[in-house]
C-alpha cells in the first residue's frame, strides 16, 4: 500500500492577494482565465480584420459543441479527483454506432438512445471498477479507451457516411436571434453546460463531488455517499462523451472509428485552463466553458492567420497554450 498523499497546499497562500481586491480566492483562477481570454481576444481584434464580429465567438461554440459536452463530463470527473482518458474513444464509438445503426435502417431517436446508453454503460463500468476494485482512474479509463476504440473498430474500420434526414438537417440548421446564429448542437451543449453548472453549485450531488475531490476519507467519514457519487461521475462523463459523439456526427455526417484521437487531452486541457485543479475539489464549470473558448480562440486565430503549414500550426498551438498557462500561473501565483 502506498502512503496516501495529500495534495500540496496550492490553495491556501492565494488568499492573501485575493483579499486585497475583495475577491474570494476560489474565483481567482477563473477570473484570471477570463481576463487572459479577453486580452487574447483583444490581440485578435487588433491584428485581424473582421475578428471583432461577435459571430466569431458564437462560431467557436458551433465548431466545438462536442468538445464542450465532453469537457462538461470531464469537469465532474476531475472535480471528484479522478481523470477520464476514455472520452475521445467513447465519442468515436458513438459516431460509428450511430452511423452503422442508421445504415441498418434504424430511426433517429432509438439510435440516439442506444448511443447514449452505450456511453453511459462504459462510464458506469469504469466507475464501478475504479471505486469497488480500487483500480487507478488513469489505468481503468485507459482500458476503457482501448475497449471503446476496439469496439468502434470491430463495428467498422471504414468511415460510414450518414444520410439520415434528422442528421443532415441538424448539421445545416441555424437558430437565429438578434442577428446572430447558433447551431442546435451548440445551443444543446450550452444548455447542458448551464444545467451541469447549476447542478454543481446548488445540488447535494454537486457538493458531494467537491467534497470527495477535496478529501475522500473525510467525505466517507461524514457519511456522504462516496460510492454512488464516484460511479455516477464516471457514468455522467461516459454519457457526455457519447452525446459528444452524436453532436460530432451531426457536424461531420460520418461515423469513423479514428475520430476523437487526443480529444481526451483537449477536454482535460479545457478543464485545467478553466482553473480546475487536477487534484480535485476546486474549480467551476464556468471555467470549463472559458477553457473551451480559449482553445477555440487559438484555433480561430490560426485560421485567420491562414498561412501556417500543418507543423507550424502545432507549434503555434503549443506556444499559445504555453503562454496562456504561464500567464495564468503568474496571475494566480501564491505569495511567499
Partner 1 sequence: MKQLPKHRLFWPAVALVLLLVSNVFFSSSFFSIRLQDGHLYGSLIDILRGSTPLVLVALGMTMVIATAGIDLSVGSVIAIVGAFACLQVSDLSDQNSVGGVLIAVALAVVLGLVLGLWNGVLVAVVGIQPIIATLILLVGGRGVAQLITDGQIINVRSDPYRTIGAGYALTIPVAVIIAAAVVALAVVFTRRTALGLLIESVGSSPTASRLAGIQARRLTVIVYVFSGFCAGVAGLIYSSNISSADGNNAGNLIELDAILAVVIGGTALTGGRFSIAGSVLGAVLIQTLNITIYTAGVPGRVTLLFKAVVVVALCLAQSPAFRAKVFRQKAAVTA
Cβ closer to partner 1: 66 or 149?
149
49 belongs to the binding site for partner 1 (CB under 8 A) = no
25 belongs to the binding site for partner 1 (CB under 8 A) = no
Cβ closer to partner 1: 146 or 202?
146
Cβ closer to partner 1: 186 or 295?
295
321 belongs to the binding site for partner 1 (CB under 8 A) = yes
307 belongs to the binding site for partner 1 (CB under 8 A) = no
List the one residue from 22, 24, 134, 176 that touches partner 1 (CB under 8 A).
134
Alpha-carbon span 120 to 239, nearest angstrom: 4
3-state secondary structure the chain: CCCCCCCCCCCCCHHHHHHHCCCCHHHHHHHHHHHHHHHHHHHHHHHCCCCCCHHHHHHHHHHCHHHHHHHHHHHHHHHCCCCCCCHHHHHHHHHHHHHHHHHCCCCHHHHHHHHHHHHHHHHHHHHHHHHHCCCCHHHHHHHHHHHHHHHHHHHCCCCEECCCHHHHHHHHCCEEECCEEECHHHHHHHHHHHHHHHHHHHCHHHHHHHHHHHCHHHHHHCCCCHHHHHHHHHHHHHHHHHHHHHHHHHHCCEECCCCCCCHHHHHHHHHHHCCCCCCCCCCCHHHHHHHHHHHHHHHHHHHHHCCCCHHHHHHHHHHHHHHHHHHHHHHCCCCC
In the complex, least distance from residue 170 CB atom to partner 1, rounded to whole angstroms:
30
Q: Which stretch binds partner 1 (CB under 8 A): 4-12, 23-31, 53-61, 176-184?
A: 4-12
13 belongs to the binding site for partner 1 (CB under 8 A) = no
302 belongs to the binding site for partner 1 (CB under 8 A) = no
12 belongs to the binding site for partner 1 (CB under 8 A) = no
In the complex, least distance from residue 160 CB atom to partner 1, rounded to whole angstroms:
14
What binding mask, one character per residue, do residues 62-101 give for partner 1 by CB under 8 A, x or -? -----------------------x----------------
List the one residue from 193, 269, 290, 293 that touches partner 1 (CB under 8 A).
269
In the complex, least distance from residue 37 CB atom to partner 1, rounded to whole angstroms:
17
In the complex, least distance from residue 271 CB atom to partner 1, rounded to whole angstroms:
10
Binding site for partner 1 (CB under 8 A): 1-6, 8-9, 85, 129, 132-136, 138-140, 142-147, 149-151, 153-154, 157, 265, 268-269, 272, 277-278, 309-319, 321-322, 325-326, 329, 333
Amino acid at each position: 500500500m502506498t502512503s496516501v498523499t495529500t495534495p500540496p497546499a496550492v490553495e491556501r497562500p492565494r488568499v492573501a492577494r485575493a483579499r486585497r481586491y475583495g475577491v474570494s480566492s476560489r474565483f481567482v483562477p477563473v477570473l484570471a482565465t477570463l481576463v487572459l481570454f479577453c486580452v487574447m481576444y483583444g490581440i485578435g481584434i487588433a491584428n485581424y480584420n473582421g475578428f471583432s464580429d461577435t459571430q466569431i465567438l458564437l462560431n467557436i461554440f458551433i465548431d466545438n459543441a462536442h468538445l464542450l459536452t465532453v469537457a462538461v463530463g470531464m469537469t465532474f470527473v476531475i472535480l471528484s479527483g479522478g481523470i477520464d482518458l476514455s472520452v475521445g474513444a467513447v465519442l468515436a464509438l458513438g459516431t460509428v454506432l450511430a452511423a452503422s445503426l442508421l445504415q441498418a435502417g434504424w430511426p433517429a431517436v432509438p439510435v440516439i438512445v442506444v448511443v447514449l446508453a452505450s456511453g453511459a454503460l462504459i462510464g458506469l463500468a469504469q466507475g464501478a471498477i475504479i471505486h469497488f476494485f480500487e483500480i487507478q482512474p488513469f489505468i481503468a479509463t485507459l482500458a476503457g479507451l482501448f475497449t471503446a476504440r476496439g469496439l468502434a473498430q470491430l463495428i467498422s474500420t471504414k468511415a460510414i457516411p450518414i444520410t439520415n434526414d434528422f442528421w443532415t438537417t441538424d448539421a445545416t440548421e441555424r437558430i437565429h436571434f438578434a442577428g446572430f446564429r447558433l447551431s442546435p448542437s451548440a445551443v444543446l451543449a450550452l444548455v447542458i453546460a448551464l444545467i451541469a453548472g447549476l447542478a454543481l453549485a446548488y445540488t447535494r450531488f454537486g457538493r458531494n463531488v467537491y467534497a470527495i475531490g477535496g478529501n475522500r476519507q473525510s467525505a466517507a467519514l461524514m457519511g456522504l455517499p462516496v460510492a454512488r457519487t464516484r460511479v455516477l461521475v464516471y457514468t455522467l462523463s461516459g454519457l457526455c462523451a457519447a452525446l459528444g459523439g452524436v453532436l460530432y456526427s451531426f457536424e461531420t455526417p460520418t461515423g469513423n472509428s479514428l475520430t476523437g484521437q487526443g480529444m481526451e487531452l483537449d477536454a482535460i486541457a479545457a478543464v485545467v485552463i478553466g482553473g480546475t485543479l487536477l487534484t480535485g475539489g476546486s474549480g467551476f464549470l464556468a471555467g470549463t466553458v472559458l477553457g473551451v473558448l480559449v482553445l477555440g480562440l487559438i484555433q480561430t486565430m490560426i485560421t485567420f492567420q491562414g498561412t501556417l503549414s500543418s507543423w507550424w500550426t502545432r507549434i503555434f498551438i503549443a506556444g499559445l497554450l504555453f503562454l496562456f498557462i504561464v500567464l495564468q500561473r503568474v496571475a494566480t501565483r501564491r505569495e511567499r
